């Protein structure tokens, strides 16, 4: 194994920014009160939570009451779907969920579960070869909605596996024309471009702090005023009854600090990462035969490069790269011993010779030109080796 490690899996997780850690540290040991307690310790914790709420609302251009602190992206996605559905159930309304085949599992599995347990009708809108939803396809999915019912459209903002960004404001406007409400999973978005809830025109939006140099186990769900929502995470009065459970005060403080940094720094970091990413993409496309860039060629996350390699098992390639000190990912949930093809690669129309051979390389603050050179040197050799091995062998 090389001693020089190259981490190119920032879409999976990012390191905690030291400035975020500094902001969080006092809330682990010094200021440990419960934010619902009436005494001074409690009031101090409550102040920290409410200051964090102000910060998050300010940098995302929404109201402080619209911010719900959660345990991360999976919980935010769950609540985003389950909250409106639970409310509709109490009203006896028919429920229609509209989503895409390229959603993260936190949305996809939840939608299927609500179909099976809450009687929701589930409509899946196809995506194009870049993983984008078209206005016409969304319109088609919005036809003949039952009157007086809940229609909830959930569309991924920036795809975790292939980096494509959806035109959310345009699609949200269409959904609203038909009386639907709109959720977007924006977990991959912060730090890569603007993220203005009002400009996006969505009703619900999910974030996960560890994707933008904040802590793991913390996140945000934005629930815009006027959205009917009955939590599936009930308890005491935390988060205005929308998410019960003692506040993770250090996590919430860290979320606000990290999000503010992400919003302030993206204009500088995004072009730097995009330039390195373009060098990486060009180099790989030049050096490796039978390769496709997956995702949109231009409108994609700046630090995101993703590929499909024909006749290759992605897990085998990941293990070979790891042996050379390169940390990458397939971007899908497939694991060693589970060599199923990627549903996202299938949804963008790739055939069976491609769908097991996904590779995602995601750049971040620490990525350098030397990292890109190292990958361009090592990857073609590892792909040649992987193509000669049977699928998912232990190496
Ligand atoms: C698009 C997307 N949504 C949701 C999640 C889940 O977030 P968390 O890890 O905070 O549960 C992820 C994490 O990989 C993601 O990429």
Following DSSP, what letter does each residue of 27-83 receive, concatenated?
Answer: HHHTS---TT-SSHHHHHHHHHHHHHHHHHHHHHTS-GGGEEEESSHHHHHHHHHHH
Q: Please report the atom of ligand 1 found closest to the CA of residue 106.
A: 4
Is the pLDDT assigned to residue 279 strictly greater than 50?
Answer: yes
For residue 371, how many C-alpha atoms fall within 13 Å in the half-sphere facing its CB? 20
pLDDT given at position 390: 72
pLDDT given at position 338: 57
Are residue 131 and residue 32 in the same domain, yes or no?
yes
Q: Please report the atom of ligand 1 found closest to the CA of residue 74.
A: 11
If we measure between CA atoms, which residue out of 51, 289, 300 comes closest to residue 161?
Answer: 300
Q: Please report the atom of ligand 1 found closest to the CA of residue 75.
A: 11
Are residue 216 and residue 292 in the same domain, yes or no?
no
CATH code, domain carrying 184: 3.40.640.10
Q: How far is the CA of 330 from the centre of ligand 1 (A)?
A: 15
Q: Is 392 contained in some domain?
A: no
Is the pLDDT assigned to residue 176 strictly greater than 90?
Answer: yes
Is the pLDDT assigned to residue 2 strictly greater than 70?
Answer: no
Q: Is residue 159 within 6 Å of ligand 1 at its C-beta?
A: no
Q: Is residue 74 within 6 Å of ligand 1 at its C-beta?
A: yes
Domain limit, last residue, from 261, 290, 310: 261
pLDDT one-digit tens code per residue, 127-140: 999 999 999 999 99
Both tokens of 111, joined, read: 């939608």
User: Measured between alpha carbons, how far is 237 from 338 in angstroms, rounded to an integer?
Assistant: 42
| Residues composing the chain | 395
Q: Is 30 contained in some domain?
A: yes
Domain limit, last residue, from 226, 261, 296: 261
Q: How far is the CA of 210 from the centre of ligand 1 (A)?
A: 9
Q: How far is the CA of 290 from the centre of ligand 1 (A)?
A: 30
Are residue 92 and residue 167 in the same domain, yes or no?
yes
User: Measured between alpha carbons, how far is 153 from 136 in angstroms, rounded to an integer?
Assistant: 15
Both tokens of 335, joined, read: 């694991």
**pTM of the predicted model, to two decimals?**
0.96
Are residue 174 and residue 301 in the same domain, yes or no?
no
Q: Is 395 contained in some domain?
A: no
Q: Is 192 contained in some domain?
A: yes
Are residue 272 and residue 192 in the same domain, yes or no?
no
User: Measured between alpha carbons, how far is 113 from 63 in angstroms, rounded to an integer?
Assistant: 31
Q: Is residue 10 within 6 Å of ligand 1 at its C-beta?
A: no
Q: Is 62 a catalytic residue?
A: no
Range of the domain at 67: 18-261
pLDDT given at position 316: 94
pLDDT given at position 389: 86
CATH code, domain carrying 293: 3.90.1150.10
Q: How far is the CA of 13 from the centre of ligand 1 (A)?
A: 9
Are residue 26 and residue 135 in the same domain, yes or no?
yes
For residues 3-26, average pLDDT = 95
Domain limit, last residue, from 261, 290, 306: 261
């Amino acid at each position: 194994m090389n001693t020089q490690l190259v981490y190119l899996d920032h879409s999976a997780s990012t390191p905690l920014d030291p400035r975020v850690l500094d902001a969080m540290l006092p809330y682990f040991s010094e200021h440990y009160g419960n934010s619902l307690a009436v005494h001074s310790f409690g009031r101090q914790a409550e102040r920290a939570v409410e200051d964090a709420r102000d910060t998050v609302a300010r940098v995302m251009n929404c109201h402080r009451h619209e911010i719900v602190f959660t345990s991360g992206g999976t919980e935010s996605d769950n609540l985003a779907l389950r909250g409106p559905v639970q409310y509709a159930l109490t009203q006896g309304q028919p429920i229609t969920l509209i989503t895409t085949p390229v959603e993260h599992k936190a949305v996809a599995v939840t939608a299927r579960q609500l179909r099976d347990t809450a009687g929701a009708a589930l409509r899946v809108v196809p995506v194009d070869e870049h993983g984008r939803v078209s206005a016409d396809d969304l319109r088609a999915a919005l036809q003949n909605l039952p009157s007086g019912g809940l229609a909830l459209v959930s569309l991924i903002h920036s795809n975790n596996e292939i980096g494509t960004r959806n035109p959310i404001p345009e699609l949200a406007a269409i959904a609203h024309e038909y009386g639907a409400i709109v959720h977007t999973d924006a977990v991959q978005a912060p730090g890569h471009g603007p993220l203005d809830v009002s400009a996006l025109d969505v009703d619900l939006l999910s974030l996960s702090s560890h994707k933008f140099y904040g802590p793991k186990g913390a996140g945000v769900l934005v629930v815009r005023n006027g959205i009917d929502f009955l939590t599936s995470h009930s308890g005491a009065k935390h988060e205005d009854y929308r998410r019960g459970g003692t506040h993770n005060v250090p996590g919430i403080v860290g979320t606000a600090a990290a999000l503010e940094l992400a919003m302030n720094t993206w204009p500088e970091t995004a072009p730097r990462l995009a330039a390195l990413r373009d060098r990486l993409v060009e180099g790989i496309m030049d050096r490796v035969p039978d390769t496709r860039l997956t995702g949109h060629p231009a409108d994609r996350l700046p630090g995101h490069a993703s590929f499909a390699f024909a006749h290759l098992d992605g897990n085998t390639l990941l293990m070979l790269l790891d042996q050379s000190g390169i940390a990458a990912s397939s971007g899908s949930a497939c694991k060693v011993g589970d060599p199923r093809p990627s549903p996202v690669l299938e949804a963008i129309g790739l055939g069976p010779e491609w769908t097991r051979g996904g590779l995602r390389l995601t750049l971040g603050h620490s990525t350098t030109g030397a990292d890109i050179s190292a990958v361009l040197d090592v990857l073609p050799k590892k792909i040649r080796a992987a193509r000669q091995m049977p699928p998912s062998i232990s190496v």
